Amino acid sequence: MRSTVTDSIATAAVAPRQTAGGRGASRAGGPARRRRRTLTAYLFLAPFLVLFTTFVLAPAVYGLWISLTDWSPFRDVQSFIGFSNYADLFRSGSTTHDDFWQSMGATGIFVVASVPLLVVVPLLVAVLLNQRIRAATTFRTIFFAPYVLGVAVVGLVWGYVLDTQSGILNHLLHVVGIQADVPWTVDTPWVWVSLVGVTVWWTAGLNTVIFLAGLKGINTELYEAAALDGAGAIRSFFSVTLPGLRPVMLFITTTTVLASANMFGQSYLLTVGGPGNATRTAIMYIADQGLSQNNMAPAAAMSYVLFAFLAVVSIVNFRLQRERVEKGSAR
């Protein structure tokens, strides 16, 4: 699911102008023909639409209903209680208020700390890999490799590396003369360094590959023209590469923000949400409340609040980057 979505959006983003400047076939047909074409299109879309409705849309609506009830898996009848689950989230002193907003704060910290790195690092790596260097494919595979690992493996491996007393990392630090036992997975702020670092190591490969695809789509003549105009490597990166990557950039920032906001496994496995509850993310708290503690209704309400936040962030992101695209093309 994840990869197919990624692929299709990536290709669409890389080559958006092919159809727009095409023959204009749809304009040629009459109304009846157009209707038939529309019908055909919907028929092709139908299988996905059925799956989307069954597994995304319907549960989403059902979740909304749950969030408005005092839903309990142990009762046969659920009663409608309006917005009180939501009100609890915004009422200081309720059972969910403090924990929920703390987890939202933790999620916020992680997003702000991880997203810039997850965009910049893959971008630089992609630019390097796009040079005519030996064994580029090998390097690409190496950078992408961690992404295929499951989060359980990532958590286990890094747990050994980051252990306070017996971890490999602290051992290496001792070798170079840093004697402190850094509590990578136990205490702030190190837990954030670890979580962001591990996430970059784990998922940067995906963004790198998408950036690479974007780079391949930039017309090489533009670089030649820039070089003729006297632009150096840095100038052509900012004047040719970055503008050429704008559609890809929009896609990557959007998906990366969402992925980081949904972080769960890393802190669940590496820091166990600690110290205290400092690294318990929103998804972790929602999952615990909904699935472990049977507080499904408040958990559903939290999901929708989180969703609202992410929707706003995504829309702002779209707006900002779309304006830049328009300005860029107008210039």
Partner 1 sequence: MRKSWTRGIGAGLAAVVALALAACSGSGSGSGGGGGGAVTGNGEYAGPKVEITFWHGWTGGAAPTLVPQLIDKFNSEHDNIVVKAVPQEWADIASKLPLAIKAGKGPDVAVLHGDDLATYAAQRLLLQADDIVKALGYTADDFPPGVYDKGNYQDAQYAVPWSVTPLGLYVNKEVMAKGGVKDIPTDKASYEAALKSLKDAGVKGEWVDGYVFTGTFEFQSLLWQFGGDLYNEDVTEATFNSDAGVQALTWMRSLIDDGYSPANVAQDGNIKALLAGDTAFNWNGVWQTTNTAFDGLDWAAAPVPQIGPEKAVWSSSTHWVFPANKGQDENKTAAAATFVKWMNDNSAGWAETGELPGANSVRDDPALVEKYPNLAPFMEELEYAHYETVSPGINEANALVTTAINEALTGKKTPKAALDDAKAKADQILEQNRAKYGD
Q: Does residue 108 bind partner 1 (CB under 8 A)?
A: no
Q: Does residue 258 bind partner 1 (CB under 8 A)?
A: yes
Of 107-115, 133-141, 222-230, 268-276, the segment contacting partner 1 by CB under 8 A is 268-276
The DSSP H or E segment spanning 295 is: none
- Rounded distance between C-alpha atoms, residue 299 and residue 138, angstroms: 44
Let me know if 30 is exposed, middle or buried by CB neighbors in 10 A (0-12, 13-18, 19+). exposed
Taking the complex as a whole, how short is the minimal distance between the CB of residue 148 and partner 1, in angstroms?
A: 19
CB–CB of 229/296 below 8 Å? Answer: no
Taking the complex as a whole, how short is the minimal distance between the CB of residue 231 and partner 1, in angstroms?
A: 37
Site for partner 1 (CB under 8 A): which residue of 44, 62, 83, 90? 62
Measuring CA to CA, which residue among 284, 286, 285, 282 is closest to residue 300? 286
Interface with partner 1: number of residues (CB under 8 A):
59
Partners of 80 in the beta sheet? 69
- Rounded distance between C-alpha atoms, residue 261 and residue 307, angstroms: 10
Site for partner 1 in 128-147 (CB under 8 A): none
Q: What count of other Cβ atoms lies within 10 Å of the Cβ of residue 74?
A: 5
Q: Does residue 247 bind partner 1 (CB under 8 A)?
A: no
Partners of 175 in the beta sheet? none
Site for partner 1 (CB under 8 A): which residue of 30, 31, 73, 230? 73
Q: What count of other Cβ atoms lies within 10 Å of the Cβ of residue 15?
A: 11
Of 34-42, 104-112, 220-228, 272-280, the segment contacting partner 1 by CB under 8 A is 272-280
Non-local (6+) Cβ contacts of 168 within 8 A are: 160, 161
Q: What count of other Cβ atoms lies within 10 Å of the Cβ of residue 222?
A: 15
- Rounded distance between C-alpha atoms, residue 196 and residue 274, angstroms: 15
Q: Does residue 74 bind partner 1 (CB under 8 A)?
A: yes
- Binding mask 180-199 toward partner 1 (x if CB under 8 A, else -) reads -x-xxxxx------------
Considering the complex, state which of residue 192 and residue 223 has its C-beta at the smaller distance from partner 1: 192
Site for partner 1 (CB under 8 A): which residue of 287, 321, 324, 325? 287
Q: Does residue 60 bind partner 1 (CB under 8 A)?
A: yes
Q: Does residue 105 bind partner 1 (CB under 8 A)?
A: no
Q: Which residues lie near partner 1 (CB under 8 A)?
A: 2, 5, 55-56, 58-60, 62-64, 66, 71-74, 95, 159, 162-167, 181, 183-187, 254-255, 258-259, 261-262, 272, 274-277, 283, 286-287, 290-296, 299-300, 303-304, 306-307, 310-311, 314
